[in-house]
Structure 1
Amino acid sequence: MDAVDFQLDQPGRRRIVVAMSGGVDSSVVAALAQASGAETIGVTLQLYDHGEATGRTGACCAGRDIRDARAVCDRLGIAHYVFDHESAFRRDVVDHFADEYMAGRTPIPCVQCNMGPKFTDLFQLARDLGADCLATGHYVRRVVEADGSALYRGADPARDQSYFLFATTRDQLDFLRFPLGGLPKARVRELAAEMGLAVAAKPDSQDICFVPDGDYAGLVRKLRPEAATGGDIVDLAGRKLGEHRGIVNYTVGQRRGLEIGGQAEPLYVVRVEADARRVVVGPRAALAVAAARLEDLNRLGPMDGPLTAKVRSMAKPVAARLLGDRLVFDAPEYGVSPGQAAVLYAGDHVLGGGWIAETEAALAAA
């Protein structure tokens, strides 16, 4: 089995708390921690209704996944605790998700979850349990440098999760460990099989854990009935082209579902004006963005030199500069949406990032 250095400072008593979702990644982390000789404790946060999630696949932190986490801990002979954080998760993640859509923005609940229940709450739990560190199954790397802990992309580019962890603070990095950051996913599954873990072939979670069917708009309508209120679809000049059935059904860059015929060229959602309940559409060229204003910037490294920026989880990093709170792209960038995050890098080094508050169209800037 691969040896992993958890970089624990205590030469004697050592205790590792592992955040366990019930999936293969966190299960392997628990096994690696136990194999290191440290006392290992598995902790799972129940984040939404256990009854509704029972038997559901492609989720985490509820139902079958809690049972899987407990079974792994039993197999390893380590303690496992489940803490009910459903109320906090509903308030900080699910309600925020619905409110962001209602405001015409495109939210990233996985980042909100990491900023709230998964890190803030788990940190306190781990410290209350007397842990030397909190280990997770994220595919990122923590590197101890001269000025402290730094965050780097995962070695496997197909699994790198640094975009979702940009808001991690330096203090949190000092306490966190990411033992899978240098491994490809295929090797992690091999390790799970070698260690006899029943989750070795368990599918990865898909979509957002609390929206397993992918119907984001349906969830928002359930939580915020006013989301079904219709309005106008207009062009860039404000001319009405059609009507919509609620702004929650539209995000920047969307082409399908506009139901507008007779146009000379394909139209895309350029922006969503929540107060007026208007969806503004235009040609693809209108999606080009020259710059974006960022809010709540988290700094993990120097941002005053050349850098690259990633504005969506699946986007490629592009060259940019940060001038105050203004992220200026070297070339027009597409798919930049308020509510998403802009994560900044120098090579593989994660410099931090912020939330996209508003954008500047390249056409207007030209």
Structure 2
Amino acid sequence: MALDNTPPLNSLGFAKPPAETRVVVAMSGGVDSSVVAAMLADEGYDVVGVTLQLYDHGAALAKKGACCAGVDIHDARRVAEEMGFPHYVLDYENIFQDAVIDEFADSYLAGATPVPCIRCNERVKFKDLLETAKDLDADCMATGHYIQRKMGANGPELHSAADSNRDQSYFLFSTTEEQLEYLRFPLGHLPSKDETRKLASKYGLVVADKPDSQDICFVPNGNYASVIEKLRPEAADPGQIVDLEGNVLGEHKGVIHYTIGQRRGLGIGGLADPLYVVKLDADKKQVVVGPKTALATRTIPVREINWLHDAPMTSREEWHLSVRVRSTRPPREAILRPISETEATVELLSPEEGVSPGQACVFYDTESTRIFGGGWIWRGY
């Protein structure tokens, strides 16, 4: 009987000792990515920390507590020094401006509700940074995202995090099969964020008690309108607030100040029933309002689909799965009907309110934690 001399796989899935396995860790300066770097360094891996400076942390767009700027770069560097691995800061300001911030502003001007964190993962972290990791001869790149990479019969699969309250699958649906081969998510199996902070304390990290960043990193205090107005001054052009029949109910100070489903702050009091924003018509500079029932929809057109099922999306006329149309909402049962390899129509089995173009529609297996990809909602309702 022949002996199998193949070395066992290490915790990152490579058949060699950790010391011979180089891993680039994307470090935002927060507790999650810092724990990943410290944990892998403690296990003996050849860790290289990389932090991206995504915007000028001295400019008005920056805010205290945001990732990838100022104090966070300093915190990432301190963690690397404490754990004894090299750390580099890469200037990605121009890439981030072109690939994320400009599209964010233009999408809002077009009446959509964009999700720049997804584009940042897709176009910056998992594209340019991933290529940089390969240039550094790394075997893989690890991040602090709460999502799981599991090996299936046909290769690595994307799965929701063990902690549903921390799951970031909505923001990572566009991760491709090729990227998934190279990426690792060491925190995805943890039962809670408390476990991450315990690990941070175990390793004596300076960021152990650092609060989580909130909102979009380059948007101060969640005030989208102020950022967009700075980038696109014409965005504050006033216009009309109209009902579904086109009757003028009032004036607004720019469509950027409104989102689909908004009820408060419309400035059109005195009506018998509450009204909600049901559509933003950027071309006509109109905010369209209507009753809550007008927000409900069952049919969602989706494009730019990243498909992660083993079988091609077009191999079936329809797929029964669950979908999430907002990061804060639970998945809903739906039927996906392919139009092409990158476009489909999603039919919700029960209506969903406030579905907005510019948001993502993420696909989930109904019988497991596996993510089948997702796409972008692209037409108003």
Does TM, normalized by the shorter one, top 0.5? yes
CA distance in 2, matches of 1:94, 1:141: 28
Cα distance in 2 between the residues matched to 1:66 and 1:282: 46
Instruction: Name the CA shift for 1:160/1:124 in 2 (closer, same or farther; >3 Å).
Output: same
Q: Which one of the candidate residues 339, 345, 353 is aligned to 1:326?
A: 345
1:280 corresponds to: 288
- Choose the corresponding residue for 1:317, options 327, 331, 341: 331
Aligned-partner Cα distance in 2 for 1:327–1:67: 44
Residue 58 of structure 1 and its aligned partner are, at CA, apart by 1.8
Q: How far, CA to CA, are the matches of 2:159 and 2:350 in structure 1?
A: 25
The yes-or-no answer on 1:249 pairing with 2:257 is: yes
Specify the alignment match of 1:261 in structure 2.
269
CA contact (8 A) 2:62 2:217 kept: no
| Matched residue type, 1:327 | V
Q: State the match for 2:371 in structure 1.
A: 350
1:112 equivalenced with 2:131 (yes/no): no
Work out the CA distance in 2 between the residues paired with 1:359 and 1:320: 19
Q: State the alpha-carbon separation in 1 of the partners of residues 172 and 91 from structure 2.
A: 23
> What residue number does 1:198 align with?
206
**Equivalence for 1:7:** 13
**Matched letter for residue 349 of structure 1:** R
Cross-structure match for 1:123: 130
Partner of 1:308: 322
Following superposition, the deviation at residue 55 of structure 1 comes to 9.8
d(CA) in 2 for partners of 1:5, 1:112:
29
SS in structure 1 at match of 2:58: helix
Change (3 A) 1:78 1:314: same
Matched with 1:182 is 189
**Segments of 4+ in structure 1 off by > 2 A?**
8-13, 50-57, 302-305
| Per-residue Cα deviation, 1:186-225 (whole angstroms, up to 9, x for no partner) | 0000000011101000000011100132110011011101
Unpaired segments ≥5 residues, structure 1: 361-366
Cα shift at 1:155: 0.3
Query: 1:291-349 deviations in whole A, cap 9, x for unaligned?
Result: 11001011011564321110000011101011121010001111200000000101411
Which residue of the partner structure matches residue 77 of structure 1?
Answer: 84
CA-to-partner distance for each residue in 1:15-52, whole Å, 9 max, x for gaps? 01000000000000001111222210000011010333
Letter of the structure 1 residue corresponding to residue 305 of structure 2: L
3-state SS, counterpart of residue 314 of structure 1: coil
In 1: Cα distance, 2:269 partner to 2:59 partner: 41
Contact preservation (8 Å) 2:51, 2:90:
yes
Structure 1, 172-181 or 205-214: larger mean CA deviation: 205-214
Which whole-Å CA distance do the structure 2 matches of 1:328 and 1:340 have between them? 16
Q: Is the 8 A contact 1:234 1:241 kept in 2?
A: yes
Q: State the distance in 2 between where 1:9 and 1:306 align.
A: 38
Which amino acid letter does the alignment assign opposite residue 262 of structure 1? Answer: G
Secondary structure, aligned partner of 2:300: strand
In structure 2, the partner of 1:364 is: none
* Equivalent position amino acid for 1:329 in 2: L
Corresponding residue of 2:150: 143
CA RMSD in angstroms, aligned pairs only = 1.6
Give the TM-score normalised by the residue count of structure 1.
0.95
CA distance in 1, matches of 2:55, 2:16: 36
Change (3 A) 1:217 1:55: closer
Mapping of residues 290-305 of structure 1, within 5 Å: 290-301=298-309, 304-305=318-319
Contact residue 63 and residue 221 of structure 2 kept, 8 A: no
Q: Which residue matches 1:336?
A: 355
Aligned pair in 2 of structure 1 residues 56, 237: CA closer, same or farther (>3 Å)?
closer
Decide which moves more: 52-61 or 294-303: 52-61
- Give the Cα separation in 2 of the matches to 1:86 and 1:359: 32
What SS is found at the alignment partner of 2:165?
Answer: coil
Work out the CA distance in 2 between the residues paired with 1:55 and 1:280: 32
Q: What amino acid sits opposite 2:326 in the alignment?
A: R
Q: Is the 1:141–1:151 Cα contact (8 Å) retained in structure 2? A: yes
2:324 maps to a residue whose letter is K
C-alpha distance in 1, partners of 2:135/2:88?
13
Residue 22 of structure 2 contacts residue 45 of structure 2 at CA under 8 Å; is this kept in 1? yes
Question: Following the alignment from structure 1 to structure 2, what is the Cα–Cα distance between the partners of residues 229 and 247?
Answer: 8
SS, match of residue 204 in structure 2? coil
Return the TM-score normalized by structure 2.
Answer: 0.91
SS at match of 2:266: coil
Instruction: Give the corresponding residue for 2:50.
Output: 43
Between the aligned partners of 2:67 and 2:306, the Cα distance in structure 1 is 27
How far is 1:262 from its partner?
2.1
Of 223, 226, 251 in structure 1, the residue corresponding to residue 234 of structure 2 is 226
Q: Secondary structure at the match of 1:110?
A: helix
Structure 2: which amino acid aligns with 1:305? W
> What is the aligned partner in structure 2 of residue 164 from structure 1?
171
- Give the Cα separation in 1 of the matches to 2:147 and 2:287: 37
Contact 1:143/1:149 (CA < 8 Å) preserved in 2?
Answer: yes
Q: Which amino acid aligns with 2:12?
A: F
CA distance in 1, matches of 2:74, 2:110: 37
2:219 pairs with 211, 216, 220, which one? 211
Distance 1:259 1:6 in 2: 55
Residues 61 and 220, structure 2, Cα contact 8 Å, conserved in 1: no
2-structure distance, mates of 1:6, 1:87: 32
